[in-house]
């Protein structure tokens, strides 16, 4: 009876990048929310810039 045996070790399987799933068209509600959020972000940036200008003018 042999004291040990050799096992065949297979090399690791190479994973190829999977094809990106096609993007589903966004729903109307999602588009509306995105538009509102974008406008709010722009407005916030404008307000911050106006505050910075006011602070510089006051100095």
Whole-number pLDDT of residue 19: 67
- Cα gap 57→55, rounded to integer Å: 5
Whole-number pLDDT of residue 11: 85
> Model pTM?
0.46
- Which of the 8 DSSP states describes residue 3? S
pLDDT tens column, 6-45:
788 888 888 777 667 677 777 888 999 999 999 999 999 9
For residue 26, give every residue at least 6 positions away whose Cβ sits within 8 Å of its Cβ, in sequence order, or none.
34
From residue 26, give the alpha-carbon distance in Å to each of 23, 30, 53: 9, 6, 39
Return the domain boundaries, the chain.
27-59
Whole-number pLDDT of residue 33: 93
Whole-number pLDDT of residue 25: 74
- Cα gap 38→46, rounded to integer Å: 13
């Amino acid at each position: 009876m042999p004291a040990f045996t050799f096992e065949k070790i297979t090399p690791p399987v190479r994973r190829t990048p999977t094809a990106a799933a096609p993007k589903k068209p966004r729903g109307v509600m999602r588009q509306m929310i995105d538009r509102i959020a974008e406008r709010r972000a722009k407005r916030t940036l404008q307000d911050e810039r106006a505050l910075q200008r006011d602070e510089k003018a006051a100095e």
